[in-house]
Amino acid sequence: MTHLQKLNLSGTKIKNLNSLTNLSELQELNLEHTKINGLLPLINLKKLTKLNLKRSVIAEVNTLSKLSPLKILNLSFTLVSNISALKNLTHLQELSLEGTQIEEVEALKNLTHLNLLNLQKTLIFDVRPLKNLQSLTFLNLAEVPASSLDGLEELPQLKLLFCEGSTPKKEELRQLMINKPNLEIITDPREIPKDINPLLYDAKNYFVRFPQ
């Protein structure tokens, strides 16, 4: 067991993670739909690169600051409201915070390897810190209260953007399309790529309209 590299505990009744402490070779861990009471036992998993906590009851993620090798992290629909601990995860490439109660993304500004970011249904008002994410390619801002897309025009790699149900002015959206002609803004469900990464887009929670 100590040489285990992948472990799927999704939907199980596990609450305490102490039994995972010695899994020093573990690289991928799925704790989706669990009622775990803390992440501290994961602090010894120095090779962990993929962690799924979607729809778990976790609310505090300070332990994650010690898991610097993490590349893929799913915190969707958790009770998380403070993501300051994520600022140390500089190897992170894919991150979903969908459905969380976060209100700002300042902690993400130095995650320069971030390629995919899902902020759907969060409470984000200011997306300007995202302008530093020079590797960001896929971004979901659907149903966020941000009133402006200011800063997104500075993302050289941005190719795909979801922003249905958010509040930027239609003129600003059109200007972004002009400034970034290679950017695809999804406004029609029929245009959604069939092979889209589920970490970026959850079809069950999404409805899009074309801006008039």
pLDDT of residue 203: 65
- The answer to which of 31-45, 46-60, 148-162, 177-191 has the lowest mean pLDDT is 177-191
Whole-number mean pLDDT of the chain? 90
What span, in angstroms and rounded, lies between the C-alpha atoms of 185 and 199? 17
Predicted confidence band of residue 195 (pLDDT cuts 50, 70, 90): confident
pLDDT of residue 1: 65
Predicted confidence band of residue 188 (pLDDT cuts 50, 70, 90): low
CATH number, position 130:
3.80.10.10
The whole-number average pLDDT for the span 12-38 is 95
Instruction: Encode burial over 163-191: b for 16+ CB neighbours within 10 A, e otherwise.
Output: bbbbebeeeebeebeeebeebebbeeeee
- Radius of gyration over every alpha carbon of the chain, rounded to an integer in angstroms: 17
Q: Which residues contact 46 (CB under 8 A, 6 or more apart)?
A: 24, 67, 69
In degrees and rounded to multiples of 5, residue 107 shows phi and psi of: -65, -15
Structural domain contains residue 28: no
pLDDT of residue 32: 97
Instruction: Encode burial over 5-29: b for 16+ CB neighbours within 10 A, e otherwise.
Output: eeeebbeeebeebeebeebeebbbb
Structural domain contains residue 160: yes
Range of the domain at 136: 92-98+109-209
pLDDT tens per residue across span 112-141: 999 999 999 999 999 999 999 999 999 999
Q: Is the pLDDT of residue 189 over 70?
A: no
pLDDT of residue 207: 42
Structural domain contains residue 1: no
Structural domain contains residue 191: yes
Structural domain contains residue 125: yes
Structural domain contains residue 140: yes
The whole-number average pLDDT for the span 75-82 is 97
pTM: 0.92
Structural domain contains residue 60: no
The whole-number average pLDDT for the span 89-102 is 97
Number of domains the chain contains: 1
